[in-house]
A = this chain, B = another copy of it.
Amino acid sequence: MHPTGHIEVLEVTEPGSDVLTADAFRAAFRSHPAGVAVVTADPGGDPIAMTVSSLTSISASPPLMAFSASAQSSSTAALRRATSVVVHLLNAEQLWLAQLGATTGVDRFQDPTKWRRLPTGEPVFPDGGTWIRGEVVHRVEAGNAVIHVVKAIETNSSAESSSDASGVGPLVYHNRSWHVLSDASMI
């Protein structure tokens, strides 16, 4: 096993006439909605919080998830050093948190009533949603982003609770808009 923090660098040829342009790629992906997560960590120094629409479950046994973060993000340097993270799976009442983690130049930890630290040190925004704490077991530097693979250690959810049980639907990001799922959106 790679030591935690190992980064594998995936070399991909520079964009050329043989691949989609960035504009065409983004346009195609506007057809593709995603759940919304906020990733927090504190590798020493200041805590970070970053909104991502790339979180996905990889494997249930062992419990692995992955997300990617742009190399441009101000939080990425700290995130690369983190051995553990907390991912928050956002519901519609946590739109403020999604927006907070996506806004540049703000102190995302300014309001001490909104977050606390877990006994293990990571910052957590406990306001109503599901979160999962995990250990970063692998990173792949791919193009302009870093894919982080995380082994899930603990969660505040139980088999009985979910965003549905709370009556608040999950948040979805699509084509630069926010949506909420409900019985009305079911087909």
A interface residue numbers (CB < 8 A to B):
1-2, 8, 10-15, 18-35, 37, 53-66, 68, 70, 89, 91-92, 95, 129-130, 132, 137-138, 140, 142-145, 147, 149, 151-155, 157-164, 170, 172, 174-175, 177-182, 184-187
Contacts and interface: CB of A to CB of B under 8 A. Distances in A.
A10 B143 contact: no
Nearest to A18: B153
Secondary structure of the A contact surface, majority rule: mixed
A54 to B, nearest CB: 4
Given A145-B64, A185-B181, A25 B92 contact: no
Nearest to A54: B56
A136 to B, nearest CB: 12
B10 A132 contact: no
Chain copies in the assembled complex: 2
A172 B175 contact: no
A57 B35 contact: no
A44 to B, nearest CB: 23
Given A15-B61, A130-B28, A179 B175 contact: no
Contacts of A56: 34, 53-54, 56, 68
B144 A61 contact: yes
Given A24-B155, A62-B143, A153-B19, A31 B182 contact: no
A187 B178 contact: yes
Contact of A185 (B30, B57, B185): B185
